[in-house]
Each structure stands twice: as C-alpha cells, then as structure tokens.
Amino acid sequence: MKKLKNFINVLSTVLTFFPGLVYAQNFVLSISNIRDFIFYLVRLLSLLNPVLFSLAFVVFFWGLSKSILNSGNKDEIQKGREYMLWGIVALFVLISFRVLISFISSSIGLGNSTGVPLIRLFP
C-alpha cells in the first residue's frame, strides 16, 4: 500500500510539472471557461496516450516471449498468454480512447488538437 501511495505521489508531481519540463518554459494554466478546461484535458490525455500505448505493446511482447521461452512449462505458458491477453485488451482500449478523444475534440470545435505538439528546433 505504501509503494502505491509513493507511486501516486511521484506520478502526480511529474504530471504537474510535465508541460514546463517538455517545453522548457513556464507553464501558466489559464482556464477561463469549460472549453479551455476540455482543451487542456484533451492535450494532457493525448500526451499520455503514446506512453500507455508503448507500455501495452511491451506487456504484449513480454507475454509472447514468456510463452516462447518457457514452452516446456504449462504454467508459464498460461502466464504468458494472460500477459498477451491483457496487452491486447489495453491496446484496444487505448485505440478506442484515441478515437473517442478525436471525435469529441472535433465535435466541440477544438480542431485537430489531439496530435503530439511539435517543438520548434530552429527559431
């Protein structure tokens, strides 16, 4: 329980300061109406989606490798299949989430705000 609490504390701290770290500038959150709030929420979730997608992909291939490398042990094969199943479920949920966020943002007029922001390399 203590590890989970520490993980949540670290995660919330990192997510609080993440935009300032990525853009290397001050991050001022100015929400004046519900549309601005939804815009910032969509942007945050859009930034987290590729990270979670990568983790789900790693979980799937972890299960695949576990099944292949332990092909003589039925218990390990079953554990590998469970990892693969959860990886596929997570990938499906994340793809559905991405489509839902795109649909909602285009429906309320935010435009194409679900893309990963580009950082200018040259002024």
Does residue 99 share a domain with residue 55? Answer: yes
* 104: containing domain: 33-114
15 & 39 share domain: no
pLDDT in tens, the chain (123 residues): 787 788 877 777 777 766 655 555 555 566 677 777 777 777 777 778 788 888 899 999 999 998 888 888 888 889 889 999 999 999 999 888 878 877 777 777 666 554 555 556 665
Q: Are residues 99 and 39 in the same domain?
A: yes
- Is residue 109 a part of any domain in this protein? yes
- Structurally, the chain folds into a number of domains equal to 2
What's the pLDDT score for residue 86? 92
Together in a domain, 39 and 73: yes
- What predicted TM-score, i.e. pTM, was given to this entire model? 0.56
Backbone angles phi, psi at 2, to 5 degrees: -70, -35
User: Same domain for 5 and 62?
Assistant: no
Read off the tokens for 34: 């519900």
State the pLDDT at residue 24.
Answer: 53
Specify if 123 maps to a domain: no
The answer to whether 108 touches 38, Cβ cutoff 8 Å, is yes
